[in-house]
Amino acid sequence: MKKKIIIISIVSIILIASLAILGYLLSLKNINFIFSSNVSEITIYKKQDYDKKNNPIKITESQKIKLQTGDYVIIPTGKIITNNPINIIVSKDEQISIDPDYSLTYLSSIAIKSKNDIFKVLSDKYSDLIKNYDIKFENAYQKGEWFGGLLVNKNSTPDSKKDIYRFVAYKKDKTWEIINYPELILSKSKYTNTPIEILNSINNIRYYL
């Protein structure tokens, strides 16, 4: 009787272990990470490990790896990109492109280089408005293809404040285009193809004389 109980116990343990192993193997998914040319490395964390930076997986080139199903946080690394966390959910075999926006530092350099070109486009398109205005607090966004800022009246003083306009430009085929007439506040209804986060960023710029 005791021998039978021992045999049943051993079989049960083997069965449980086998099911656990099978469950683990079935939970593994083939994830093909594709890096953009600006990404030199990514670090992958399970979501529950991210705060304490436990059990990181580092990848230094585009490749296919196996990950268990679940939530993950990816930190990209590169000279000109932002290293903001990227959240993914692994639930099936799939290809995931890692293509972050540019860093604020690099976007700032693009904004400085692009300012004069965009001012000329504004001057050519809206000469009556722009002749009395300067571009202030300009920013480039995403991968430098978006640009926005304030148009501040040259004659504005603390005692006589003039209207401040906001504008958006987009670079298409290496040429800057102004998206709609500059507005006091940019609305999604008029800037339908402009990402809402860019509109919000420009609307939140504050200028004080």
Each residue's pLDDT tens digit, 160-187 = 888 899 999 999 999 999 999 999 999 9
Q: What is the pLDDT of residues 59-84, one digit of tens each?
A: 999 999 999 999 999 999 999 999 99
**The domain that contains 64 carries what CATH number?**
2.60.40.1120
Residue 117: which of 186, 195, 170 has the closest Cα? 170
pTM: 0.82
**Structural domain includes residue 6:** no
Kind plus residue range of the DSSP H or E element containing 74: strand 70-77
Collapsed DSSP state (helix, strand, coil) of residue 69 = coil
Task: State the pLDDT at residue 22.
Answer: 54
- Rg of the chain in Å (alpha carbons): 27
Residue 61: which of 45, 47, 77, 46 has the closest Cα? 77
DSSP string, 77-125: E-SSB----EEEEE-SSEEEEE-PPBPHHHHHHHHHHHHHHHHHHHHHH
**Structural domain includes residue 15:** no
Count of domains in the chain? 2
**Structural domain includes residue 19:** no
**Structural domain includes residue 14:** no
Which domain does 55 fall in, by range?
A: 26-98
**Structural domain includes residue 11:** no
**Structural domain includes residue 128:** yes
